[in-house]
Amino acid sequence: MNDSTLSRRKLIGTAALAGAAALLPRDLAAQAPAPAPAGAPGGYTIVTSSNGLEAAKAARQALIQGRDPLDAAIAGVNVAELDPDDVTVGYGGIPNEEGVVELDAAVMDGRTMRAGAVAALTGVKTPSKVARLVMEHTDRVFLVGAGARRFATAHGFPDESLLTEKTRKIWLHWKNRLSDLDDWIEAARDAEDPDVKRFLERYGEGLFRPQGTIHLSVRSEKGDLVGVTTTSGLFFKIPGRVGDSPVVGAGLYSENGVGSAGSTGRGEANLLTCGSHTVVEFLRDGLSPEEACLRALKRIAEKTHLVPRHRDAKGRPKFNVNFYCVNAAGRAAGAAIWSGSKYVVGDAEGVRRLDSAYLYKKDA
Ligand code: ASP
């Protein structure tokens, strides 16, 4: 779906309703239900990353029950955070190079322009909840590492193991085959483990290490805009490494009256351009959600990592970044540097996964 599809659908829907209303007696016309096509003004809209199908369903359910949009957004991403099979977020996320799962998360409330964030947090399955507590229970925005952990403990979060048997095996496989210059070696049967095999089939191995995240933005029926981004970050990262996800302006940005945006993908590239803030600024300038995402991606492609190892033979980025956004009218879009990405939209019509717009088509 792109903005023009939405506009077309909305226009057809509105025109059809106007035509039907003209045939109805006045009192019945007054009772005719308001049109609620995808992302229509007046309805609620959820936009999230491709791993957010179940999250979008949970957020949608919460909105239908009349819950606050931030409650709904956090309830949505909690599904991914608690899912041990999503190795990019929360519990069961891929650990750092020492086998420790360090999580990053941020929330932003476009009604108040307040935000809360945590980074390199250990032992909490749902860091998005701790980020919200930072926003609501401190006069600060961002807590990291040991301080974030102590804050979580103060708020009653136990220190739990976030490494699952599956991610422990995946990490050990990575460590065993990392180098011939240390004491760790790969046993022949290691790569035969079904969990390791599935991981390698899905993510492969290479210089530009795979990663993942969930971002979820909500535009409520009232027009309020909120966003949440949560991640275990770059796979096998240097301990203490923080990407874009918990950084307000990079991993997410929400402002009532303008829009809400968030990102996944190579965090360093997005950090260097404050990408989500850029998307929202383009919305402020009147660009459609899809154009706003693509323009921000173009800036990343042109301005960041101008070093050969990050560029292919044609000078295009070897990495990917995705943006997701919803504007004040409730229109949503997803876009990526490279073709093949997906995003998820939820609205009164339901929840669906869609193809993201892109800057470059992957070579066949
Ligand atoms: N942006 C995240 C990070 O850099 C990872 C990702 O979304 O793939 O930590």
Write the Ramachandran bin of 156: left for phi over 0, alpha for psi from -120 to 50, otherwise beta.
left
218 C-beta neighbours (distance < 10 Å), count: 33
| Rounded Cα distance, 157 and 125, in Å | 9
- With a 6 Å cutoff on the Cβ, whether 245 touches ligand 1 is yes
- With a 6 Å cutoff on the Cβ, whether 123 touches ligand 1 is no
- Is the CB of residue 297 less than 8 Å from the CB of residue 336? yes
- With a 6 Å cutoff on the Cβ, whether 304 touches ligand 1 is no
Angle at CA of residue 343, ends 72 and 169, nearest 5°: 85
| Rounded Cα distance, 52 and 142, in Å | 25
Q: Is CATH 3.60.20.30 correct for 36-163+210-360?
A: yes
pLDDT tens digits for 287-303? 999 999 999 999 999 98
242 C-beta neighbours (distance < 10 Å), count: 23
Closest atom of ligand 1 relative to the 210 alpha carbon: 8
What stretches in the chain show pLDDT beneath 50?
1-38, 206-208
| Rounded Cα distance, 328 and 254, in Å | 10
- Is the CB of residue 145 less than 8 Å from the CB of residue 119? yes
Nearest alpha carbon to residue 80 among 103, 48, 100, 51: 51
141 C-beta neighbours (distance < 10 Å), count: 16
Closest atom of ligand 1 relative to the 237 alpha carbon: 9
- With a 6 Å cutoff on the Cβ, whether 264 touches ligand 1 is yes
- Is the CB of residue 202 less than 8 Å from the CB of residue 211? no
Nearest alpha carbon to residue 231 among 93, 336, 132: 93
Q: Which of 101, 144, 202, 234 to mutate to test the pocket of ligand 1 (most atoms within 8 A of CB)?
A: 234
- SS3 state of residue 343: strand
- Identity of the amino acid at 69: P
213 is catalytic: yes
For the chain, the maximum distance between any two Cα atoms, rounded to a whole number of angstroms, is 83
Ligand 1 mean position, distance from CA 269 (Å):
10
Number of H helices, E strands in the chain: 11, 13
What are the backbone dihedrals phi and psi of residue 214, each rounded to the nearest 5 degrees, phi first? Answer: -120, 130
Its sign, for the CA torsion 151, 153, 154, 156, is positive
How many CA within 13 A on the CB side of residue 105?
37
Ligand 1 mean position, distance from CA 43 (Å):
30
- With a 6 Å cutoff on the Cβ, whether 265 touches ligand 1 is yes
- Is the CB of residue 236 less than 8 Å from the CB of residue 199? no
Q: Where are the domains of the chain?
A: 36-163+210-360
Ligand 1 mean position, distance from CA 253 (Å):
16
Whose alpha carbon is nearest atom 1 of ligand 1? 267
pLDDT at 289: 98
Identified catalytic residue from 213, 230, 264, 278: 213
Length of the chain: 364
Closest atom of ligand 1 relative to the 242 alpha carbon: 9
Ligand 1 mean position, distance from CA 122 (Å):
17
- With a 6 Å cutoff on the Cβ, whether 86 touches ligand 1 is no
Closest atom of ligand 1 relative to the 233 alpha carbon: 9
